[in-house]
Structure 1
Amino acid sequence: MTEPTAEPTTPRVVMPYGDTTGDGMVQISFTLPMAHSKVAEGSAIQLANKMGMDPALLVHAKPMGPDFTFFVVYGRVNHVVDPSRVVVVERDYPLLSPKEVNAAVKRSLRRRLTVVGACIGTDAHTVGIDAILNIKGFAGEKGLEYYRELKVVNLGAQVSVPQLVDRAQAEKADAVLVSQVVTQRDAHLLNTREMSAAFREAYPAERRPLLIVGGPRFDEAMADELGVDRVFSRGTTPGEVASFIAHRLAPAPTPRKVAS
């Protein structure tokens, strides 16, 4: 009988791949507030060197108006990555079909579950919230409007936090979904903290709706820091959001133990 192979004790590290395995080659792009010139190109190389790229090759430079230049630099870095030390947020709930979500809500709540969604602050980008809520959905999945047992209220863009709280109260929302795409000066983080604080002030703890935020620049590990129940990042599908809501608000019954 073959003995099981022991797992290696040394962490497996990886380096970027460019032309050959482990050569450490990477490509970065950035903009400098300088008119395009030889000095600007030299400044781009200097920046890449300070970022640890050596050698660094300037492969593209394009003026962006009279006072800015966009650069692409290709070069080698010596940093390694240890995947065993990477911390990620794994999905800790089952992925359900629309039929299963509907059944769970009907069984647990005996009424429709109300979801209110919006883009808050000055954010006018509704593509994210629409992808999750609208029936057309995203990535081949129908949005939450497709779910028979979910009542969806999409408030659209540029909704103030007080307006969101008022509408959530009026609709007796069970869950509130907020999408944030605009991220200049960490606006998505500031808006989310303001939103979560407002809901905690407006609701008793046991009656507060489930607070969910999403957007391409969010770190999924920041839920506690931001005061929300879940953070979804880029690539999230309607099914993942619906399954999480069902998991938290309409959980499956715990199997009863049968006496022996």
Structure 2
Amino acid sequence: MSGSIIRPYGDTTGDGMVQLSFTLPIPHDKKAEGAALQLARKMGLDPALLVHAKAMGPDFTFFVVYGSSTHLVNLDEVRVVEREYPLLSAKDANLAIRRTLRRKLVVVGACIGTDAHTVGIDAILNIKGFAGEKGLEYYREIKVVNLGAQVLVPELVARARAEKADAVLVSQVVTQKDAHIHNTTQMSAAFREAYPAGHVPILIVGGPRFEEDSAAQLGVDRIFGRGTTPGEVASYLVHEITVRKGRKA
């Protein structure tokens, strides 16, 4: 097998074993278990073993299946968003902001729509930070305005305009019915309607279910996924304000 072609690893190298969980809208019985195995086989698990089945109320059943995947992964076809800017220390980020803007960089953050999960936005903005790094509130040259949870898009736009925000950070954890996608596209459209061309703040969204290469499709400047640290966000902000100043010059 080529070095760029790989299979999942379970018990032994190259055995292709994977574990999959899902729910089917049927009561738990033998037929339901057969349906779960049929689905697993159609998804490329052969043989597939049912290792767990539990009723979720009278009309749903949760399953865990384990089996050997018939599919291969071609690493040459994997596309990722590479970081195109250096990671800066807080001291270097502060110096760069002062040199570029000659004032504090204003960041407005929020969870929009019905999303009430502030853990992500707080990890980036609050001084306590995340993964051993202090949040953006710690940066002397960054002014942080954290609006919290369940902020309506018009409220976010109005506050960003009032604060003269350089950047807007939005966190989206709730993904049912693609709520994070709808909220983000609504947000980006609202900012482009409210600001003259070329003056829209840096728009950043983060959350565990975003595809990082879909920023252009969603109308934002950057997407950050799970595990993002405050230092990465601060370094990107420095990079982007520098690039924007170069364009205006």
Normalising by structure 2, what TM-score? 0.95
- 1:4 aligns with none
Q: Which amino acid aligns with 1:44?
A: A
**1:101 aligned residue (93, 98, 116):** 93
* Offset at residue 45 of structure 1 (A): 0.7
* Offset at residue 11 of structure 1 (A): 6.1
Give me the whole-angstrom Cα distance separating, in 1, the residues matched to 2:39 and 2:114: 33
- 1:244 aligns with 236
3-state DSSP of counterpart to 1:55: strand
Q: Are positions 1:211 and 2:203 aligned together?
A: yes
- 1:74 aligns with 66
Q: Are positions 1:43 and 2:35 aligned together?
A: yes
* Offset at residue 131 of structure 1 (A): 0.7
Give me the whole-angstrom Cα distance separating, in 2, the residues matched to 1:205 and 1:97: 32
Q: Indicate the structure (1 or 2) with the bigger Cα radius of gyration.
A: 1
Aligned residues: 245
**2:179 aligned residue (182, 187, 190):** 187
**1:231 aligned residue (217, 223, 233):** 223
* Offset at residue 66 of structure 1 (A): 2.1
Q: Which amino acid aligns with 2:83?
A: R
Q: Are positions 1:156 and 2:151 aligned together?
A: no
Q: Which amino acid aligns with 1:93?
A: Y
Give me the whole-angstrom Cα distance separating, in 2, the residues matched to 1:99 and 1:201: 36
* Offset at residue 206 of structure 1 (A): 2.1
Is the 8 Å Cα contact of residues 11 and 82 (structure 1) preserved in structure 2? no
Aligned identity (percent) is 73
Q: Which amino acid aligns with 1:236?
A: T
Equivalent positions of 1:105-120 (< 5 A) are 105-120=97-112
Q: Are positions 1:56 and 2:48 aligned together?
A: yes
* Offset at residue 77 of structure 1 (A): 1.4
Give me the whole-angstrom Cα distance separating, in 1, the residues matched to 2:133 and 2:229: 7
**1:32 aligned residue (24, 34, 37):** 24
- 1:138 aligns with 130
Q: Which amino acid aligns with 1:49?
A: R
What are structure 1's unaligned runs of at least 5 residues? 1-9, 255-260
Deviates most, 148-157 or 19-28:
19-28
Q: Are positions 1:123 and 2:115 aligned together?
A: yes
Give me the whole-angstrom Cα distance separating, in 1, the residues matched to 2:153 and 2:12: 51
Give me the whole-angstrom Cα distance separating, in 1, the residues matched to 2:214 and 2:4: 27
* Offset at residue 42 of structure 1 (A): 1.1
3-state DSSP of counterpart to 1:31: strand
Identify, as 1 or 2, the structure richer in strand: 2
What are structure 2's unaligned runs of at least 5 residues? none
Kindly report structure 1 stretches of 4+ aligned residues shifted beyond 4 Å: none
Q: Are positions 1:171 and 2:163 aligned together?
A: yes
Is the 8 Å Cα contact of residues 116 and 175 (structure 1) preserved in structure 2? yes
* Offset at residue 27 of structure 1 (A): 0.7
Is the 8 Å Cα contact of residues 97 and 239 (structure 1) preserved in structure 2? yes
- 1:20 aligns with 12
* Offset at residue 250 of structure 1 (A): 3.8
Give me the whole-angstrom Cα distance separating, in 2, the residues matched to 1:42 and 1:206: 57
Give me the whole-angstrom Cα distance separating, in 1, the residues matched to 2:53 and 2:198: 56
Q: Which amino acid aligns with 1:212?
A: I
3-state DSSP of counterpart to 2:203: strand
